[in-house]
Structure 1
């Protein structure tokens, strides 16, 4: 899977999302401008020691992203979508795109991609979920549909003798 963050603003969110990407074998694509520097301590602290294992791609702007990923099948997460994230049939090569914490994906991008927009259902009284939580919800549904390829699916409980 590919996670795309368009102009993320809060380094802790991107750090957490980076960790989720490493845990799920997903790539992280960041589209500038970023609201922080990629060497910020807070970013690395959120991603812990996982950050160096991350498959990271950085782009100058949305057009740069499109030109470098011409075959990308992009699902755009937005509260304005009519379909939910669970209505989509995902593929392992899909791109899951999320906008800025403060304003989401710009309307002009959404308008050209209406049929690819997805939303996470929530009560109407709340504006949106935290970005890193939203990414986790959608990426794990996409991975569930594609059979959790390459991920460890079983844990192990150890018996303790008291």
Structure 2
């Protein structure tokens, strides 16, 4: 299982995503360009040692380069525009949970390439979760479904 961030805008969110991926035993991908260097102080501060040990992110120079690395894993896009929820989806161990940009979400070409588009149900009137919070919720649900636990 992997977590992928599409052209992230906020370095602290990348650092938090690295920690979430590490804590849920997932790999991490960052699809560039980013609005900051991946080795920035802000990323390192939030990621702590997780960014160099358990979940060092793989950087991809763009969407095409990322797609070349996907292999057989399904691209599961989290989006507020989806009809299906993460609770109703059957995750697989090789899924790639893909998050759009904080400022703009994912463009049409990303939506078109996704094997599944999912949302996290929210309270009435709530618009969206922080991208890293949403990623962690989805990773937790995916791990719960595939039977992974902290015991291995």
Under a length normalisation based on structure 1, what TM-score does the superposition of the two structures give? 0.86
Separation in 2, partners of 1:117, 1:135: 13
Q: Does 1:141 align with 2:141?
A: yes
Q: Paired residue for 1:118?
A: 118
User: 2:37 aligned with 1:52, yes or no?
Assistant: no
Q: For residue 3 of structure 1, give the secondary structure of its aligned residue in structure 2.
A: strand
Q: Deviations over 1:36-59 (max 9, x none)?
A: 111211111101122111242111
User: Once the 2 structures are TM-superposed, how far is the Cα of residue 93 of structure 1 from its aligned partner?
Assistant: 1.0
Alignment partner, residue 63 of structure 2: 62
The structure with the largest alpha-carbon Rg is 1
Matches within 5 A, 1:79-98: 79-98=80-99
**d(CA) in 1 for partners of 2:2 and 2:69?**
14
Hey, what does 1:42 align to over in structure 2? 42
Separation of aligned partners in 2, 1:138 and 1:111: 20
What is the TM-score of this pair, normalised by structure 2? 0.92
* Equivalent residue, structure 1, for 2:22: 22
Distance 2:113 2:57 in 1: 26
Counterpart CA distance in 2 for 1:112 and 1:20 is: 25
Q: Structure 1, residues 83-113: CA drift from partner, whole Å, max 9, x if none? A: 0011111111110000000111112321344
Q: CA RMSD in A?
A: 1.6
Distance 1:108 1:147 in 2: 32
Contiguous gaps of at least 5 residues in structure 1: 154-162
Instruction: Name the CA distance, whole Å, in 2 between partners of 1:47 and 1:55.
Output: 10
Instruction: Give yes or no for contact 2:85–2:120 (8 Å, CA) kept in 1.
Output: yes
